[in-house]
Structure 1
Amino acid sequence: MSAVTVREATLREGLVLPYAEAGGPSGTPVVLVHGYVDSWWTFEPLLRRMPSSLHAYAPTQRGHGDADKPPDGYLPEDFATDLVAFMDRVGIERAVLVGASSGGVQARIVAGRYPDRVAGLVLLGVPVTLADKPAAAELWEAVRQLEDPVERGFVERFALGMTAEPVARGFLETVVEENLKAPARVWRETLRGLLETDLRATLSGILVPTLAVWGDRDPILTREEQQTILDTVIGSRLIVYEGVGHVAYWERPERVVRDIAAFTEDVS
């Protein structure tokens, strides 16, 4: 098992983001980008399995977890800008970006705009768009009414709905605790940004090697939209995990690490 070290990175205007590091110090840089209301903790099952050939970084994004929570800046564009600033701050010139769920949106924005900084792109259960999804509309109706403190039962139901198979109870409780650290306004503004931004447009112009990973029991994403990724991003390929839900990195962490390592070796 790989040791996991937690540090802090101070970006522009004093924005402080915690981040976790694991793997080999001289390994190929891999930056893990978490999704909606998560933190670096969502990648803990991957981080502790990182091989020495990879040097993994997992930043917690603004407003989430123990990161600073400024009053604004919660559009996908803002998170993408922070991601590049994070890479600058910790000295990563070029990396494989691994975007999980909605974190894949800001990862692909960076891949499209700064191809010289991105060796490859891995999309773990990433939507093409959310605006046309009934589940997203239902979530918005609940989120827009949230008040602080966010109710724990709501967060538990949100987290439990992501998997097709049970995950370790202790890990799930940690994820819920991390989700609860995001105030109601961050839940609202981050989801508003995802719903109002043309997410499909963020697939355009990606020329770096791209791997999509999708669980065939994902309650949110369809096989058809994964095909849209393949049709839009030249040379991209898809790996389907059978019997897996939305968060393959919780349900099949060993396999996800193997697939990331193999992809990284191919593009490095």
Structure 2
Amino acid sequence: MTGSVVPVAGRPTWYAEYGEGDPLVYLHGGFSSSREFAPVREAYAARFHVFTPDRRGHGHTPDVPGSFTYELYAGDAVAFLEEVVGGPAHLVGYSDGAITALLVGLARPDLVRRMVLISGQFHQSGLLPAFFHGPDAVAELQASPLGAWYAEESPDGAEHFPVVAAKIIESALTGPTLVAEQLAGVPARTLVMSGDDDAVTLEHTIEMYRSLPDAELAVVPGTSHVLCMEKPDLVTQLVLGFLTTDPVPTIAPIRRA
């Protein structure tokens, strides 16, 4: 895989791009990198010009001093859209990437075409309390495939993983802090997606769907927070169908009446 390191908002950022067509930016999850997108990349690249940046402190992009916040992630994404993509794009975000996309859609709707939010939350309370708690959380993550990915990719070296992991956990336990009423300010047509046994509660996902003005909902059966790995073909089919087709006029609308 060939990628490029470019200055984005004055900071080095690694990204790769594939395919031709309308621009699409994939925003990866926490503790991970754009590498997670590789199994389905060809299906997307057959339809879109795909950009896959690694977020600060993730993948091939180095860490920077200070805490991580979703507002910082969103600012980085806005700068990437302006400086690298050169304008509006479809956003597909997973987990922390979904939160990032949501904040971009709220702050800079002019940079968003359609948006897909997979297993993300608009408020920290939507994440199950036990998901990142426990004194051994960082050590367990470092011993997992996510820790191995970091060691293989990060310019900061494997020994820096606990620093980044602690910052990611802190950001997840303190943010995001949106309230449902704020989601009315997101004009982009949006697909909200979740596993039926997700780390983001189903009740929270439904509240997000109901609070966005132009949203559709997909709950993938028999999956968890890593639904993109568990049922990649189904998730990809749903996402690409949403991005490439117009809404179907429903016969008995209630919410959309």
| Alignment TM-score, normalising by the size of structure 1 | 0.79
Secondary structure in structure 2 of the residue aligned to 1:194: helix
User: Which residue of structure 1 aligns with residue 178 of structure 2?
Assistant: 200
| Structure 1 segment 253-264 matched on structure 2, within 5 A | 253-264=232-243
Partner residue of 1:16 out of 12, 23, 44: 12
Q: State the distance in 2 between where 1:6 and 1:209 align.
A: 30
Confirm or deny that 1:216 pairs with 2:212. Answer: no
User: Which residue of structure 2 aligns with residue 74 of structure 1?
Assistant: 68
CA spacing shift, 1:6–1:246, aligned 2, 3 Å: same
What letter corresponds to residue 34 of structure 1 in structure 2? Answer: H
What is the CA-CA distance between 1:43 and the residue it aligns to? 1.0
Secondary structure in structure 1 of the residue aligned to 2:52: strand
Contact 1:21 1:47 in 2 (8 A): no
| Structure 1 segment 22-171 matched on structure 2, within 5 A | 22=18, 24-25=19-20, 27-72=21-66, 74-131=68-125, 133-136=128-131, 138-139=133-134, 141-143=135-137, 146=138, 151=139, 153-157=140-144
CA spacing shift, 1:81–1:48, aligned 2, 3 Å: same
CA spacing shift, 1:129–1:79, aligned 2, 3 Å: same
What is the CA-CA distance between 1:137 and the residue it aligns to? 5.3
Partner residue of 2:226 out of 247, 252, 255: 247
Q: Which has the higher contact order (CA 8 A, sep 6+)?
A: 1
Summarize deviations over 1:26-53 as a string: whole Å, max 9, x none: x111111112111111111121332422
Partner residue of 2:169 out of 171, 191, 200: 191
Contact 1:42 1:175 in 2 (8 A): no
Say what the alpha-carbon RMSD is for the aligned residues: 2.7
CA spacing shift, 1:87–1:198, aligned 2, 3 Å: closer
Secondary structure in structure 2 of the residue aligned to 1:9: strand
Contact 1:124 1:247 in 2 (8 A): no
What is the CA-CA distance between 1:79 and the residue it aligns to? 0.8
User: Which residue of structure 2 aligns with residue 165 of structure 1?
Assistant: none
What letter corresponds to residue 121 of structure 2 in structure 1? Answer: P
User: Which residue of structure 2 aligns with residue 265 of structure 1?
Assistant: 244
CA spacing shift, 1:246–1:178, aligned 2, 3 Å: farther
CA spacing shift, 1:184–1:200, aligned 2, 3 Å: same
Summarize deviations over 1:109-168 as a string: whole Å, max 9, x none: 1001111110111011112433463214515x445xx5xxxx4x5434586xxxxxxxxx
User: Which residue of structure 1 aligns with residue 252 of structure 2?
Assistant: none
List runs of 5+ in structure 2 lacking aligned partners: 248-257
Secondary structure in structure 1 of the residue aligned to 2:44: coil
Contact 2:195 2:224 in 1 (8 A): yes
Secondary structure in structure 2 of the residue aligned to 1:37: coil
What is the CA-CA distance between 1:189 and the residue it aligns to? 2.2
Secondary structure in structure 2 of the residue aligned to 1:93: coil
What letter corresponds to residue 51 of structure 2 in structure 1? Answer: Y
List runs of 5+ in structure 1 lacking aligned partners: 160-171
What letter corresponds to residue 243 of structure 1 in structure 2? Answer: G
